[in-house]
Amino acid sequence: MTFAIVDIETTGGSAHWHKITEIAIFLHNGKQVIDSYQTLINPQRTIPANITALTGITNAMVSNAPTFEDVAEIIYEFTKDSIFVAHNVNFDYSFIKKEFEHLGVNFSRKRLCTVRLARKILSGFKSYSLGNLCAQVGIAVNDRHRAGGDAEATAKLFSLLTSNEGFIPIINSFLEKTSNEYNLPPHINRDLFDKLPDTTGVYIFYDQKGKIVYVGKAQKIKSRVFEHFSSRTHTKTKTLFLNSIHDVSCDETGSEFIALLLENELIKKHYPMYNKANKKFNLNTGLYQYIDQNGYARLSIGKSGKRDTPMLTFASQTQALEFVLNKIKEHNLCLKLSGLMPSKEKCPSEINTTQICHQVCHEATGVEVYNQRFTLAFAQSEDNKSFLLKTKGRNENENAFVMVEKGKFLGYGFIDTNESISNVSEIKNFLKPCYDTKDSQAIIDRFKKSYGVELINY
């Protein structure tokens, strides 16, 4: 069994947009290096200054170097009948494969990642980057960030790994067709991935410090997670994303409806750096009732937080204001007490006694009469109903529910089918509170009339 240990330098992080500037290959027989090849490559484009600062490779150095097409046959033959090995193998492999695609050649090799091998054989290190790992095992790295120096260091690391007694069964398991080991991110524990269920729910990726970097929903969690890992497109962002993943967890939800609500909640709560959608935190607008020091029922309009209990909820402040103005006109309510005028400004009724509320809110004896009109005005509203949406749970013995009260999305929960529920308030004991946002309301509206979702008004 022969191994082609490869390292490349490039003009950037995306195999789709950038080109190779240097390549080094060390052939290894499982015990030692038996041959090597390395060369600068003319990328036929300008090398960015930041890349030159990192690698030391200048435009002048590659101006007379061969193009990839010039050395393609050598690279193809040098790696033929060998297993392609690299530290974070998908990065190097994707660039070389893309270069061959431009030439109309199918480049296909079995792959091994020394990051994943090292994590399996040399467990317990804080970092598995080439520089840090070599320093921890006593391997000197000469010409760091040059293809020859990094490939030589990887070859020495590979020799250390092959000397381990368990290397042969490990490498055989990695190379099994069904293993897909090389597709997993370098820092993900294989056992974590294998334990993921292929059921509906939400999956969460964490970085080295346990911070959430991505949240997604799927009807088949394990399959969807693997799609992230096995994508053939390796852009700079994709490479950084995969390298940032150190842990993964999931929450099974039983239905796509609950999965979407949970995904939306987690994205807004944790603001993961690699999520692009659903980050905007647009809380719905609440209409709040309170009694002032003189005993009058008053209104205020504000955002509806997770623990707030508004009297009614609206998608926007404009809708709330329009609703209140209509109630003022229909029931002769006071503009000031309804929160639509600053308290220091004169109310129209103080200027014109025939205006709207007939000064009743300014008469000591008018409190009871005014509050009765207020209660009548907001007793019922066709625009803000309370209801439950019932759907399937995580197993056949469980139901899931979504609760909306007076137009506000309160959250979701799961209830055993054998649970005895006598009234709606008891359901709140099973509730997982969520933010009431425009996105969550849009999800609810989408599924409100869906097959498999039962609407229960209360």
Classify 303 in phi/psi space as left (phi over 0), alpha (psi -120 to 50) or beta.
beta
Pairing of strands 201-206, 83-86: unpaired
Q: What are phi and psi of 229, to 5 degrees?
A: -75, -30
Residue type for 229, please?
F
Active-site residues, by number, are 145
Buried b (16+ CB within 10 A) or exposed e, 64-95: ebeebeebbeebeebbeebbbbbbbbbbbbbb
Determine contact, residues 213/228, Cβ cutoff 8 Å: no
Residues 6+ apart with CB under 8 A from 335: 328, 341, 347, 348, 356
130 to 138, 140, 166, 328, 402: CA distances (angstroms) = 12, 11, 22, 71, 49
Closest among 149, 50, 42 to 99, alpha carbons compared: 42
Secondary structure element (H or E) that encloses residue 349, with its range? helix 348-351
- By the 10 Å C-beta count (0-12 exposed, 13-18 middle, 19+ buried), 449 is classed as exposed
Cα dihedral 182→160→97→234 (10° resolution): 50
Side-chain half-sphere exposure of 33, counting CA atoms within 13 A: 17
Query: Rounded to whole angstroms, how far apart are CA atoms 211 and 273?
Result: 10
Give the neighbor-by-neighbor strand order of the sheet with 312-314.
297-303, 285-291, 312-314
Concatenated DSSP letters of 151-202: HHHHHHHHHHHHTSTTHHHHHHHHHSTTT-GGGS-TT--HHHHHT--SSSEE
